[in-house]
């Protein structure tokens, strides 16, 4: 089954791009191709002008599923990517401690995931990826299962971190408000096989106040315009 077809777009260095589209339109597939987990059957994915083959070294991935390891403590979950990269001892401990504090999880270092809330687990997954300082950050509905309040906290945190470190981010979401809050550009996809239906430039200035920005004219305009296009796809999906 063709998951995506005729999709072509470029993402600039340090740009924050969100992808939205109906379920099953191929968003995760695109991310998996960028991250070298799936090879395209046709066409090519390039990073810095070179075709992706295998998992690129400078890519961090926050998966759609909760992928925190239940048998590892918070500290050991966060240390995972550093272990892979051979960063141990004092250097590892320092970076893990910074990540724990970034995630607001001080005091939970030795806790196991089963004893954390969903939002706390998601923060572990997020900082576990950030702690290795990837240049490219692939995020597949990382906050999908969270309540609005926790989500807004994490949006603010992500924007702050991104403001400091400036990774290139590809962020998949079903939540249009989330996409507008975070992204420079929003790619809207059609239903399967996914094609690009619209690319929207978000003109909200930065730094962004994740709560107040929802009251601005640009937010409302962006929401209205994108919703119109996305709504057509949802309606077509229903009509099938």
Ligand X SMILES: Nc1ncnc2c1ncn2[C@@H]1O[C@H](COP(=O)(O)OP(=O)(O)OP(=O)(O)O)[C@@H](O)[C@H]1O
User: Smallest gap, in angstroms, from Cβ of residue 18 to Mg ion?
Assistant: 13
Phi, psi (degrees; rounded to nearest 5) at 27: -65, -50
Which residue lies nearer to ligand X by CB, 26 or 81?
26
192 lines the binding site for ligand X (CB under 6 A)? yes
DSSP E strand stretches across the chain: 16-20, 46-47, 50-51, 59-62, 136-140, 168-172, 185-189, 196-201
Contact 196, 164 (CB under 8 A): no
29 lines the binding site for ligand X (CB under 6 A)? yes
Which residue lies nearer to Mg ion by CB, 28 or 92?
28
Given candidates 7, 18, 25, 52, which one binds ligand X under the rule CB under 6 A?
25
How far separated are the first and last CA of the chain, in Å rounded? 17
User: Smallest gap, in angstroms, from Cβ of residue 23 to Mg ion?
Assistant: 7
Given candidates 20, 26, 74, 168, which one binds ligand X under the rule CB under 6 A?
26
Which residue lies nearer to Mg ion by CB, 64 or 216?
64
Q: Which two tokens stand for residue 18?
A: 């969100």
Binding site for Mg ion (CB under 5 A): 28, 64
Q: Return the bridge partners of 198, or none.
A: 188
Task: Report the interface residues with ligand X, using CB under 6 A.
Answer: 1, 3, 23-29, 64, 192
């Amino acid at each position: 089954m063709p998951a995506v077809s005729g999709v072509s777009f470029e993402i600039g260095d340090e740009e924050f791009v969100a992808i939205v589209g109906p379920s099953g339109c191929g968003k995760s597939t695109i991310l998996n191709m960028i991250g070298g987990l799936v090879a395209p059957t046709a066409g090519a994915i390039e990073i810095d002008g070179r075709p992706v083959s295998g998992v690129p070294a400078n890519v961090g991935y926050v998966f759609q599923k909760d992928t925190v390891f239940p048998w590892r403590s918070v500290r050991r979950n966060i240390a995972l990517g550093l272990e892979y990269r051979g960063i141990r001892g004092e250097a590892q401990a320092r970076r893990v401690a910074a990540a724990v504090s970034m995630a607001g999880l001080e005091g939970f270092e030795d806790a196991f995931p089963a004893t954390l809330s969903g939002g706390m687990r998601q923060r572990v997954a997020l900082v576990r990826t950030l702690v290795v300082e990837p240049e490219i950050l692939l995020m597949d509905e990382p906050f999908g299962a969270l309540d609005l309040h926790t989500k807004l906290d994490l949006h603010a945190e992500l924007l702050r971190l991104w403001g400091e470190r400036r990774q290139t981010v590809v962020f998949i979401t079903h939540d249009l408000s989330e996409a507008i809050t975070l992204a420079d550009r929003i790619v809207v996809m059609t239903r399967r096989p996914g094609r690009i239906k619209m690319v929207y430039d978000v003109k909200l200035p930065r730094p962004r106040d994740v709560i107040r920005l929802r009251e601005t004219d640009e937010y409302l305009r962006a929401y209205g315009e994108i919703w119109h296009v996305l709504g057509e796809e949802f309606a077509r999906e229903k009509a099938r």
